[in-house]
Amino acid sequence: MGASPSRIRMHNPRFLGIVLVAPALTGIFALFVYPLIFSVISAFTTKDGQATLANFARAFELYSLDIGFTLVIVTVSTLVCGALAIAIGGYLVLGENPRAVAILKWLYRWPLFIPFVVAAQCMRTFLAKNGLMNNTIVSLGLLEPIQTTSLLDWRGVVITFVWKQTPFVALLVAGAMASLDRSTIEAARNLGAGRLRILIEIIVPQIMPTLVVGMILSFVTMMSVLSVPIMITGESPTMMTVDMAFRINAYGDYGTANALGVLSYLMTGAVAWFYLRRGVQQGGRP
Amino acid sequence: MSGLGWIPRGIILGLIAFAIFGPLANLGLWAFAEQWYFPHKLPVVYGLKFWNQVFKPSSDALGSLGTSVVIALLTVAVSLSLAIPAGYALARLSLPFRGLIMLAFLLPQAFPSVAVYINVARIFYTIGLNGTIAGVVLVHAVHGLVFAVWIASAAFAAVDRDLELAARNIGAGAMRTFLTVTLPLAAPGIVASAIFVFLESLDEFTGTFFVGVPDVTTLPLLMFTASVAGNYQIAAITALILLVPSVAFMMFVERFLKADVLAKVGA
């Protein structure tokens, strides 16, 4: 920003504003929106540029099982994250034992900033048939060694996602719960309502917007993760992200990969719509 | 409160602690296990053999760590130099379609990114950016912009307008007011966003996986390769290196994660 030559223009805040926003906006358009549109076009065209639905036909033919699995894994993980977040947030607000509340508060945040690759590596060893989880259960005498199973399949993916994303949703939810007006909670308590009932009937409805935003962000995040399904399950059935990487790396098949990409946009499209609409309603202020 | 109340509470907290720290403990064991095979429940031989391997001067791991840090620093520089002007404009100046512009900065967070990265790699390939540090930095920077712009705009919006007006009244120009009043007051938020962008870049896997190949190997990529190849010790040690900044950041942001800040999300 050269200060003196643009002096006169500085007095026109609208012009200045556009100049200041333009570089960042260009970055988003060139490196996100353009490739996004490129992927959609590529999904609907052949290599010669003819319009076609063959890419989608192949995607469904080869990967319909994985498409279903992806939807189930991500939906289940999101719902479990939401439920655990309510439980954690609820206990932090309504818990009557200060020491237990302090311990939980200290405990639940740990996975928050741990990268997905690291979480996957942790779980790859922890959930294995001879991993620390089964070894501990056997050592406690709860199971015989023969009864243990490896959880390194779709269940392992769900567990890893829940482990990694619950602290994020719980942090948002706990923050919203802590800032609620305590008087309605106290009033309900004075009328004899139990804590579970207060949580479900009074607290959760008030923090619903925050909970929904946290869950939607987690849904999109989990749809984008490539490392966890590769490292946890390795084989079929797996998630669409793995199939996309495979089509590219093994065959250079952009058509099918992009068709799978468009399907993943459609899955998140519905949820993202709510998220974006909320953004507009706030006038864009965080 | 009777003593018996502690039993179920203790069991539940113990299970939560096991669920959270168990996987990390397993990682820690692998980092120090020289030999560990079935049916032993714990490593047979402990040692630092693999640490020497990772930290010897010519190792891939140290090289990757260097690459990762350079990329993360450049990503912060690119992201912030774009986000500070944009955040200021969004917070302070009258902009047409302000809501839509804010939305545009959310887009990378609203779509699953794998297919986008595939096509970024395809485009970068034609212009020679594939497999270069610059290409990886650009991909990381766009992802970082989402947080950087929103946090910068919130930080500027929180600066008291009266202080700026006071500076203007005693004769400071717009630029001087920005540099000596607005920017220093918004600095804590901007520093927080810089740290966040740094960490996101350091931990980023998917974008680097598609755009960085075959020449740019960051630490997450090295960890992934070691793990898939069954080299659990190397994977565990590199994972521990990646954990240090993540956990340090969690401790650091504790102060920023106050309830009154979080309550505004989605409200």
Instruction: Look at B93 and A100 and tell me if their CB atoms are within 8 Å.
Output: no
Contacts of B227 in chain A (CB under 8 A): 120-121, 124, 231
Contacts of B224 in chain A (CB under 8 A): 117, 227, 230-231
Is the Cβ of B239 closer than 8 Å to some Cβ of chain A? yes
Q: Among the listed ranges A106-115, A277-286, B153-162, which one has the minimum average pLDDT value?
A: A277-286
Instruction: Look at B93 and A110 and tell me if their CB atoms are within 8 Å.
Output: no
Instruction: Look at A38 and B122 and tell me if their CB atoms are within 8 Å.
Output: yes
Is the Cβ of B255 closer than 8 Å to some Cβ of chain A? no
Instruction: Look at A20 and B5 and tell me if their CB atoms are within 8 Å.
Output: no
- CB-nearest to B22 from A133, A172, A278 is A133
The answer to whether residue A2 scores a pLDDT higher than 90 is no
How close is the nearest chain A Cα to the Cα of B55, in Å?
19
Q: How far apart are CA A180 and CA A204, in angstroms?
A: 11
Please give the ipTM for the structure prediction: 0.86
Residues 6+ apart with CB under 8 A from A176: A89, A206, A207, A210, A211, B262, B263, B265, B266, B267
What is each CA distance from A284 to A210, A280, B90, B266, B267, in whole angstroms?
15, 6, 9, 11, 12
Q: Report the pLDDT value the prediction gives residue B18, as an integer from 0 to 100.
A: 92
Q: How far apart are CA A228 and CA A100, in angstroms?
A: 32
Q: Among residues of chain A, what percentage have pLDDT more than 90?
A: 53
> pLDDT of B8-33, one tens digit each?
888 999 999 999 999 999 999 988 88
The answer to whether residue B195 scores a pLDDT higher than 60 is yes
Q: Report the pLDDT value the prediction gives residue A70, as an integer from 0 to 100.
A: 94
Instruction: Look at B120 and A35 and tell me if their CB atoms are within 8 Å.
Output: yes
How close is the nearest chain A Cα to the Cα of B186, in Å?
15
Residue B241, both tokens? 């290196």
Does residue A11 or residue A235 have the better pLDDT? A235
Instruction: Look at A110 and B24 and tell me if their CB atoms are within 8 Å.
Output: yes
Q: How far apart are CA A39 and CA A28, in angstroms?
A: 16
How close is the nearest chain A Cα to the Cα of B95, in Å?
6
Q: Which residue, among A26, A31, A158, A247, would best test binding to B if mutated, counting the most B CBs under 10 Å from its CB? A: A31
Q: Report the pLDDT value the prediction gives residue B3, as an integer from 0 to 100.
A: 62
The answer to whether residue A253 scores a pLDDT higher than 60 is yes
> pLDDT of A141-192, one tens digit each?
888 888 888 888 889 999 999 999 999 999 999 989 988 888 888 888 888 8
Q: Report the pLDDT value the prediction gives residue A3, as an integer from 0 to 100.
A: 45
Q: Report the pLDDT value the prediction gives residue A9, as an integer from 0 to 100.
A: 46
* C-alpha torsion angle, residues A186, A177, B267, B109 (rounded to 10): -170
Is the Cβ of B166 closer than 8 Å to some Cβ of chain A? no
Instruction: Look at A28 and B5 and tell me if their CB atoms are within 8 Å.
Output: no
Q: Report the pLDDT value the prediction gives residue B267, as an integer from 0 to 100.
A: 39
Size of interface A-B (CB pairs under 8 A): 315
Q: Report the pLDDT value the prediction gives residue B256, as an integer from 0 to 100.
A: 61
Instruction: Look at A115 and B246 and tell me if their CB atoms are within 8 Å.
Output: yes
Q: Report the pLDDT value the prediction gives residue A30, as an integer from 0 to 100.
A: 93
Q: Report the pLDDT value the prediction gives residue A178, as an integer from 0 to 100.
A: 87
Q: Report the pLDDT value the prediction gives residue B211, as an integer from 0 to 100.
A: 94
Whether a cis peptide bond, with omega within 30° of 0, leads into B39 is yes
How close is the nearest chain A Cα to the Cα of B30, in Å?
9
pTM to 2 decimals?
0.88
What DSSP string runs through B137-205?
Answer: HHHHHHHHHHHHHHHHHHHHHTS-HHHHHHHHHTT--HHHHIIIIIHHHHHHHHHHHHHHHHHHHHH--
Fold that domain A64-281 belongs to in CATH: MetI-like fold (1.10.3720)
Averaged over B37-52, what is the pLDDT? 81
Q: Report the pLDDT value the prediction gives residue A96, as an integer from 0 to 100.
A: 85
Using pLDDT thresholds of 50, 70 and 90, give the confidence band for residue A194: confident
Q: Averaging pLDDT over each range in A14-18, A258-262, B90-94, B148-152, which range is the top one?
A: A258-262
Q: How far apart are CA A92 and CA A113, in angstroms?
A: 21
Does residue A232 or residue A285 have the better pLDDT? A232
How close is the nearest chain B Cα to the Cα of A188, in Å?
22
Averaged over A3-9, what is the pLDDT? 45
Using pLDDT thresholds of 50, 70 and 90, give the confidence band for residue B259: very low
Averaged over A208-236, what is the pLDDT? 89
The answer to whether residue A267 scores a pLDDT higher than 60 is yes
> pLDDT of A116-139, one tens digit each?
999 999 999 999 888 889 888 888
> pLDDT of B82-138, one tens digit each?
999 999 999 888 888 888 888 888 888 888 999 999 999 999 999 999 999 999 999
Using pLDDT thresholds of 50, 70 and 90, give the confidence band for residue A5: very low
Using pLDDT thresholds of 50, 70 and 90, give the confidence band for residue B251: confident
How close is the nearest chain B Cα to the Cα of A265, in Å?
6
Contacts of B178 in chain A (CB under 8 A): none
Using pLDDT thresholds of 50, 70 and 90, give the confidence band for residue A79: very high
